[in-house]
A and B are shown apart, each in its own frame.
Chain A
Amino acid sequence: MNLTTNYLGLEIKNPLVPSASPLSKSLASARELEDNGAAAIIMYSLFEEAITAESESMVRFLHHQDIGFAETTEGFLPSYQDFENGLDRYLEQIRKLKESLDIPVIASLNGVTPSGWISHATKLAQAGADALELNAYYVAGDIGQSGAQVEQRYLDLLTELRSTVQIPINMKLSSAFSSVGHFVARLAGAGANGVALFNRFYQPDINIDSLRLQARIYPSTSAEALLAMRWIAILHGRIEGLSLGATGGVHTSEDAIKLLLAGADVVHLCNVLLHKGPAYISLILRGIEDWMEEQGFESVADFRGRVSALSVPNPAELERANYINVLDSYSVSSGVMT
């Protein structure tokens, strides 16, 4: 049985790629992912703001913790002065992962401004990253900003990044674009080697006791994967050389199979591995293999995109699924006399 997949121009052993998560922070859990079948690993995101905030807070609480009180002359935390900043630690982690893993290691950058941090990308590549995922976390809160401007921001970031590094670049996107397909095509034109659809953001929530906003994240559900499934089905086979990754809400082998059927090159896993442990990936892989055997497929290529817009009899279903369902809910069967 052949599960090999081409992803961002990299030959990988199967289509399961754990997405950016804390599992890549520890060598042990990263190795556990590999041992259980992960085909590549996307590292935790290097946040532009987090790097700045971290060094500010370290300076404040390790270097400037004096309060002038006689019993706390050395501050409150161990005088660990030699800490590295987030970037250096990240680079070190790439090196370590590359050293101890055989699968490709994909670095992940998270930022929204085309400022100096783009230059970090070179360092990531030098440290050995096989590819780079750009996780542009941007919510257009300014109602004066047009959709075109938002898209241009992404394109500018990508263009700058493309001119900086030679390694493949994957764009992780939210679904909040008015014409996802058109935008993805423009990204491909600007040099993206792949897209991951779709990012899940922390959503602000309201605490009704304190009447304040609070950030919280709810675990994803399989239902969420359907959004990515639709767009992947629409995009499959339309943009040459662009890898399609499905992310968000993949919990079971059934979820993964559906996404592959829709046309995904790879399926990203996150929540399920955080909750059930890195080893769980082997069960999902096994589920895909069992299903393939049952269906008589020899390779992933045999069924990838079988239920995409290019292959289904009525592609409009992909675009108007809900609408059609709504119609269905009240139109009576034509065989019934009214």
Chain B
Amino acid sequence: MSHKSMVTLDGNEAAAYVAHMTNEVIAIYPITPSSNMGEWADEWSSQGVKNLWGTVPDVIEMQSEAGAAGAIHGALQGGSLATTFTCSQGLMLMIPNMYKIAGELSPAVFHVSARALAMQGLSIFGDHSDIMACRATGYAMLGGASVQEAMDFALIAQAATLESRVPFLHFFDGFRTSHEVAKIERLPVETIRAMIDEKLVAACRERAINPDHPKLRGTSQNPDVYFQGRETVNSYYAATPGIVQGVMDRFAKLTGRQYRLFEYIGAPDAERVILLMGSGIGAVEETVEHLTARGEKVGLLKVRLFRPFDPSALIAALPASVKRIAVLDRTKEPGADGEPLYKDIVTALAQAAGDGRLASMPRVIGGRYGLGSKEFTPAMVKGVYDELTRDAPKNQFTVGIIDDVTNSSLVWDPDFKADAIQGVTACVFYGLGSDGTVSANKNSIKIIAEETPNYGQGYFEYDSKKAGAMTISHLRFGPRPISSTYLIGDDEASFVACHQPTFLTRYDMLDKARKGGVFLLNSATPADRIWDELPRKMQQTLIDKQLSFYVIDAYGIAGETGMGRRINTIMQTCFFAISGILPKDEAIACIKTAVKKTYGKKGQALLDRNYQAIDATLAGLHQVTIPAQASSAFDRPPVVPDDAPEFVRKVTATLLAGRGNQLPVSLMPADGTWPTGTTRFEKRKLALQLPKWDENLCTQCGKCPLVCPHAAIRAKVYPAGLMDQAPASFQHVTIKGKDFPEGYQVTYQVAPDDCTGCGLCVEVCPIRDRQDPNHKALNMVEAAETQADEEVNWEFFLTLPEYDRTKLDATKIKHAMMMQPLFEFSGSCVGCGETPYIKLATQLFGDRMLIANATGCSSIYGGNLPTTPYTTNPEGRGPSWNNSLFEDNAEFGLGLRLAVDKQTAQARELVARLASQIGEDLADGLLTADQSGETGIHEQRERVAALKVKLAGMDSAEARTLETLCEQLVKRSVWIIGGDGWAYDIGYGGVDHVLSTGRNVNLLILDTEVYSNTGGQNSKATPMGAVAKFAAGGKATFKKDLAMMAMAYENAYVAQVAFGAKDMQTVRAFIEAESYDGPSVIIAYSPCIAHGVDLSNNLRQQDLAVTSGHWPLFRYDPRRVERGENPLTIDCKPPSIPYRDFINTETRFSLLGKTHPDDAERFLALAQKHVQTRFTLYEQLAHLAVQKAPASE
């Protein structure tokens, strides 16, 4: 039923709405999937949205979740209503304060979009591992199952905490609920006001610490009283369930939605009952309806209030007829004999059975489901009910996976569908992340939900790649609220749309289509020829399922109507035109209204273009006549080549094909160890244009491989004789200069299937044809022209040998770029500003690199499955990589260094001790080796190889020990890599400490000046006046000068670099940093799509940053002091362009001019002054006279 208070939003917005309305102080920190709650709160406050008490809540971003929790603790003690939003690792960081807040009986609600914890691997997806880790904190835990409940329970929790004084953790499932878009009823402000008791709010103020009425909290307590003190809270906890139920009852009177601590639905005489909490309830509820409609005695007990646990409410809610119970936990507690919810239920039932409140003890089994957002469907639920009928049902089972190792998993029938799918229109859309499919679908849900009586639900599957990411949108519409908390399954969708023709040969999209449904394809091929472009299997499915097939040339229409490459409105129009959800004319009118709402204020031209596109779409949409028989001779090609390693064929290929759910436990590495060098098997062919080399014009400067974010253009130098085997299209030319042997050939080769088409290599190319200035030594050409040839060329290029590293002078860019990158084809954004730095490090030091990587973009494109860009050289050496956490990366990397140093020291001790047996010369060589250069390292590796041979022939315990340690005699290069969120904020304490130790580690800080990975939140690296999430009103303070702080230690090598402004300086800084036997910090300017500038301008932006004074380039080398020189060298000229000219090119700055124009001008004036004074300061420091260290006498 359509109602004026019905809204279409997601779970995060639903919860944040209540939180912002009912609090005064909000401390936030970004973490997926809860960041959006903080973003909403910040945005609302920056727009002046007021809370219940008519004041705008103060929203503050902290340096970590630990900081946020501390600030909340303080705000509560100061007498304010305070809240925060978090999950997962963030919630772990809040735990110490949660104990304190609960111990002091401070009312507060923490809103949590529950997420998995990092163990064998990190997962950003939903489960209850995080909240279950908080069981002992003393927080009450209240969880909803849907978007509506995220809003309702946020309010119920707020009201209940004020009354009970027990703080609440209000949770809902990450992604499944936090990111599901649904039509719900918005709680009116009057309802919220009616639920919040002003006397209880006043009581919070009275309890505050206040110098007018002094009191003391936070005492240290001795053995005499601590225990009794702990027991004082019992009565509060005992009262809480009753208070919550009372609040729920009041809420029901106001809204008509009645909730209970434990809610039973199903057969009144049920014998088999499932208990669970969270979004899985939706799938179970649908299954129960389906099964009870067929007379089965099954039921569901929804757990709402998990803490304080109320056994009597549980017993009261269970039907007396119950004989068997399955308790489902969305978490895992390794080593326990059951998961937490299960154990609580068993305990409650056993206690009740023991004291006679329960006539007999039902049989209770427990199982795990849905970890890390694993699908949980009615078919799986049915599998659980079936298990309960067995004589000996499994306990501690799993459902939803195939566990072929400990056989914990239940079997389920994937063809089982609940009745709930009847009467629901299900639609699936396959799009690219960048083509606007998701936003168009969100818009469609809004239109349908607001313009028709239908309920709507949208859920979106995203990619682990940033460039060329695929999205799958799952949309459902129907006359009843939709509780299907799982993806649209096979044979369910009445509408399947493919927004990108390249997906045709990659994914089985039509599996989702139901018989008689519709398939819509965006393709430039006209309707009368499209059939021949479909793989045979797809043709057969179209015939078998009797699908209607439509085709539209969306990119063609977008081009003709001035929409560029934006096809979202066009595809949305097709959806409405075909699907019949709304009458066509009405639907088109709605789309136009939505377009007007979106673009109306941005200018008539934009509006007109959209209108034209909509009209042209209707004319350009054609139905394809489906022949009686499949005719294509081709099908989907194999995902990886047949000669790929076994693991890649078995596991990686399955992940790449989107079938990872089918992988059994036995194929998973037990400790999270995965092979490297796997991105090369993921051929994504994203580029519409490829660079084409003009070997005769090229001066072989090496700048193109340096700037390539994806290592998709490479240089190699090799003997001319190897060209005998070269394909005809292979390009090569004699290398210039005297550094290489006479007649050697050089090739700059593109990897055509890995290039993303960003064009930075062409942009950087300094050489133009004098006759034709538009022609460079490298030019972008249409991919279709060269793709086939370049694929052959690339294959041949890979067979050419790598040039001897010991003969290359890495201080020259041309030489350095002849070194093999051991970081290639990452999933980073097109034009990424970070990856060239990592790639450079692997070229220079990759064969000896250990990498500690902070969580963030670099850990995602570095280590998000299915593949990793880190790879090996022909000898099998390459970077070895690990990600610990976000906050501890510096410490983690230091730990790697400590291990290396200790093992090296021990190896050296053993070499010295065993010198006579292994040979004095060899031992002496090993111990005195100069490993400052490539040659020295190469020779040391040869000595170690010789040592291994010697050791193999020795029979002693020490020899065996040395065998395990001897590789550490070769220099190791320890790199600590992360973004500004880590180094400036959450990990700064660790960075600071690691610098103070003086140990030999290299910190590479990829400074995008914003939390890029979590979606662009403000960090202490964000410049003044930039708009970011959590800083919607513009950053009001200067960027932290991390370099200056690091230099203050005087023992650290510090460099600030920007490869797009001065590449030589970057290379020099990397080499100096690595060679410095102490801590080194490289702060690397990294343009990011979050800056609101297309990254085809990456290099220009770096240059503007440097020339405007925003990013001065310098190096601070403590070794220079020993030579009597000033350690600081400034590597750029004074600011030469106005700061305005830099910031005008980036939306992150220019946006503020539109939202807060006066602030924008004020910040600009301050920033302009600041860059000048800072440059002057650096210059003065660089010119201070330094006294040479006195020579020892």
Contact = CB atoms under 8 A, between A and B. Distances in A.
Interface of A: 22, 25-29, 51-52, 54-55, 57-85, 87-89, 93, 207, 209-211, 214-217
A320 to B, nearest CB: 37
A66 B602 contact: no
Contacts of B1094: 60
Max chain A Cβ within 10 angstroms of own Cβ: one of B462, B860, B1088:
B462
Contacts of B1161: 22, 25-26, 29
A51 B463 contact: no
A83 B433 contact: no
A210 B39 contact: no
A172 to B, nearest CB: 20
B54 interface: no
Contacts of B1103: 207, 210, 214
Max chain B Cβ within 10 angstroms of own Cβ: one of A51, A76, A88:
A76
Contacts of B433: 66-69
A216 B471 contact: no
B1013 A215 contact: no
Interface stretch (B19-27, B708-716, B840-848, B1144-1152): B1144-1152
Interface in B409-442: 431-434, 436-439
Contacts of B1089: 65, 67, 76
Interface stretch (B314-322, B384-392, B742-750, B1024-1032): B1024-1032
A75 B436 CA distance: 11
A71 B436 contact: no
B1169 to A, nearest CB: 11
Interface of B: 32-33, 35-36, 39, 42-43, 46, 124-125, 175, 179, 431-434, 436-439, 460, 462-466, 469-471, 566, 568, 598-599, 601-603, 605-606, 766, 829, 860, 1010, 1012-1016, 1027-1029, 1032, 1062, 1088-1090, 1092-1094, 1103, 1107, 1136-1138, 1140-1141, 1147-1148, 1150-1151, 1153-1155, 1157-1158, 1161-1162
A76 B32 contact: no
Given A80-B1155, A85-B601, 13 more contacts: A57-B1147, A59-B602, A67-B434, A71-B1013, A71-B1015, A72-B1014, A77-B1151, A78-B42, A78-B46, A78-B1151, A84-B1154, A87-B603, A210-B1103
A57 B1092 contact: yes
Contacts of B1015: 71-76
Contacts of B431: 68
A78 B61 CA distance: 15
A76 B460 CA distance: 18
27 contacts: A28-B1158, A57-B1147, A61-B1147, A61-B1151, A62-B1151, A63-B439, A63-B598, A64-B568, A66-B438, A67-B466, A67-B829, A68-B434, A68-B463, A69-B860, A71-B124, A71-B860, A71-B1013, A72-B1013, A75-B1015, A76-B1090, A77-B1148, A78-B42, A78-B1029, A80-B1151, A80-B1155, A89-B1154, A216-B1141
B1151 A76 contact: no
A78 B1148 contact: no
Given A55-B603, A77-B1147, A85-B603, A70 B1092 contact: no
A211 B1092 contact: no
A69 B827 CA distance: 10
Contacts of A217: 1137-1138
Which 6 A-B residue pairs are closest in the complex by CB-CB distance?
A: A68-B433, A68-B469, A76-B1016, A70-B462, A76-B1090, A72-B1015
Contacts of A93: 1157
A207 B466 CA distance: 34
Contacts of A211: 766
A57 B1147 CA distance: 7
Nearest to B1137: A216
Contacts of B1148: 77
A211 B466 CA distance: 33
A77 B1158 contact: no
B1090 A73 contact: no
Nearest to A63: B598
Given A68-B432, A74-B36, A79 B1158 contact: no
Nearest to B1088: A76
Contacts of B470: 68
A27 B1158 CA distance: 8
B311 to A, nearest CB: 39
Given A26-B1161, A80-B1155, A69 B124 contact: no
Contacts of A215: 1137, 1141
A76 B566 contact: no
Nearest to B1164: A22
Given A64-B439, A66-B434, A67-B469, A73 B601 contact: no
B330 to A, nearest CB: 18
B1016 A75 contact: yes
Given A55-B606, A74-B36, A80 B1032 contact: yes
Nearest to A87: B603
Contacts of A58: 602, 1147, 1151, 1154
Contact of B1029 (A62, A76, A87): A76
Contacts of B598: 63, 81
A238 B878 CA distance: 81
A297 B496 CA distance: 85
A101 to B, nearest CB: 15
Given A25-B1161, A26-B1157, A77-B1029, A70 B32 contact: yes
A71 B1014 contact: yes
Given A66-B439, A68-B470, A70-B463, A80 B43 contact: yes
Nearest to A23: B1161
Contacts of A84: 601-602, 1154
A207 B462 CA distance: 43
Contacts of B599: 59
A73 to B, nearest CB: 6
Contacts of B42: 78
Contacts of A72: 466, 1013-1016
Contacts of A64: 434, 436, 439, 566, 568
Max chain A Cβ within 10 angstroms of own Cβ: one of B437, B605, B1147:
B1147
A77 B46 CA distance: 14
B637 to A, nearest CB: 23
Contacts of A75: 1015-1016
Contacts of A71: 32-33, 35, 124, 860, 1013-1015
A18 to B, nearest CB: 15
Contacts of B766: 210-211
Nearest to B468: A68
Nearest to A68: B433
Contacts of A63: 439, 598
A161 B125 CA distance: 60
Contacts of A76: 1010, 1012, 1015-1016, 1029, 1088-1090, 1092
Nearest to A216: B1137
A52 B602 CA distance: 9
Contacts of B1138: 217
A52 B562 CA distance: 13
A71 B1012 CA distance: 9
Contacts of A210: 766, 1103
B1086 to A, nearest CB: 14
A62 B601 CA distance: 14
B602 A85 contact: yes
Nearest to B1147: A61
Contacts of B601: 82-85, 88
Contacts of A54: 1150
B1016 to A, nearest CB: 3
A80 B460 CA distance: 22
Contacts of B602: 55, 58-59, 83-85
Contacts of A69: 433, 462-466, 469, 860
Nearest to B1162: A26
A205 to B, nearest CB: 9
Contacts of A62: 1147, 1151
